[in-house]
Chain A
Amino acid sequence: MGEKVLMKGNEAIGEAAIRSGCRHFFGYPITPQTELSAYMAKKMPKIGGVFLQAESELAAINMVYGAASAGVRTMTSSSSPGISLKAEGISYIAAADLPCVIVNIVRGGPGLGGIQPAQSDYFQATRGGGHGDYHLIVLAPNSVQELVYLTADAFNLSEEYRIPVMLLGDGTLGQMMEPVDFDSIPEPVYAEKPWATNGTDNKREKNVIKTLYLDAPELEAVVMEREKKYDIVKQELQRYDAHDTEDADVIISSYGITSRVVETAVQILREEGIKVGVIRPITLWPFPEKAYKQVHPKAFLSVEMSTGQMIEDIKLACECSAPVYFCGRTGGVIPTPDEVVQKVKDILKEVG
Chain B
Amino acid sequence: MSKTIYEKPKSLTDTTFHYCPGCSHGIVHKLVCEVIDELCIQGKTIGVEPVGCAVTAHDYFDFDVVQAAHGRAPAVATGIKRSLPDRIVFTYQGDGDLASIGTAETVHSATRGENITVIFINNTIYGMTGGQMAPTSLPGQITQTSPYGRDPHIQGYPVRICEMLATLDGPSYIARVSTDSVPHIKEAKKAIKKAFENQINGKGFSIVEILSTCPTNWGMSPVEAMKRLQDEMIPYYPLGVFKDVGEGNE
Which A residues fall within an 8 A CB radius of B? 24, 26, 50, 52, 54-56, 58-60, 62-72, 74, 88-89, 92, 197-203, 206-212
Contact = CB atoms under 8 A, between A and B. Distances in A.
A69 B80 contact: yes
Contact of A24 (B42, B66, B67, B82): B82
Given A56-B104, A62-B69, A62-B72, A206 B80 contact: no
B105 A197 contact: no
A298 to B, nearest CB: 49
A55 B108 contact: yes
Most buried by A among B46, B58, B77, B83: B83
12 contacts: A24-B83, A52-B82, A58-B75, A62-B75, A66-B48, A66-B82, A68-B79, A70-B79, A70-B87, A74-B83, A199-B44, A206-B58
B83 A199 contact: no
Interface in B19-75: 42-46, 48, 55-56, 58, 61-69, 72, 75
Given A66-B77, A200-B64, 20 more contacts: A24-B82, A50-B83, A52-B78, A54-B75, A54-B108, A62-B76, A63-B76, A65-B75, A66-B48, A66-B82, A67-B79, A70-B87, A71-B83, A89-B72, A200-B43, A201-B44, A206-B63, A208-B65, A210-B58, A211-B67
A70 B84 CA distance: 7
Nearest to B83: A70
A198 B56 contact: no
Contacts of A198: 46, 64, 84, 87
A202 B83 contact: no
Contact of A88 (B43, B55, B69, B76): B69
Contact-residue bracket for chain B = 20 to 34
Contacts of B66: 65-66, 69, 197, 208-210
Interface string B89-113: 0000000000000001101100000
Secondary structure dominating the interface of A: mixed
Given A56-B104, A59-B108, A199-B45, A50 B67 contact: no
Nearest to A98: B66
A50 B65 contact: no
B104 A199 contact: no
B29 to A, nearest CB: 15
Contacts of A89: 69, 72
Given A52-B78, A66-B80, A212-B67, A203 B43 contact: yes
Contacts of B83: 24, 50, 66-67, 70-72, 74
A194 to B, nearest CB: 12
Nearest to B11: A206
Given A74-B79, A206-B63, A199 B87 contact: yes
A71 B64 CA distance: 13
Nearest to B45: A199
Contacts of A72: 83
Interface of B: 42-46, 48, 55-56, 58, 61-69, 72, 75-84, 87, 104-105, 107-108
Nearest to B105: A59
B75 A208 contact: no
B50 to A, nearest CB: 11
Nearest to A100: B79
B64 A197 contact: yes
A16 to B, nearest CB: 20
Nearest to A63: B79
Which one of A54, A197, A201, A211 has the greatest number of beta carbons of chain B within 10 Å? Answer: A197
Given A66-B83, A71-B83, A212-B67, A202 B75 contact: no
Nearest to B58: A208
Q: Which 7 A-B pairs have the closest CB atoms?
A: A66-B79, A62-B75, A63-B79, A202-B43, A55-B108, A70-B83, A197-B64
B108 A62 contact: no
Contacts of B79: 24, 26, 62-70, 74
Contacts of B68: 62, 65, 92
A62 B81 CA distance: 13
Contact of B78 (A63, A208, A209, A212): A63
A144 B36 CA distance: 50
A59 B62 contact: no
A70 B80 contact: yes
Nearest to B68: A62
A201 to B, nearest CB: 4
Contact of B67 (A26, A58, A71, A209): A209
A66 B69 CA distance: 11
Nearest to A71: B83
B64 A199 contact: yes
Contacts of A71: 83
Nearest to A211: B67
Of the listed residues A71, A92, A208, the one surrounded by the most CB atoms of chain B closer than 10 A to its CB is A208
Given A55-B105, A59-B108, A200-B64, A69 B76 contact: yes
A55 B107 CA distance: 9
A206 B62 contact: yes
Contacts of A62: 68-69, 72, 75-76, 79, 105
A97 to B, nearest CB: 13
Contacts of B107: 55
B215 to A, nearest CB: 22
Nearest to B77: A66
Contacts of B44: 199, 201
Nearest to A197: B64
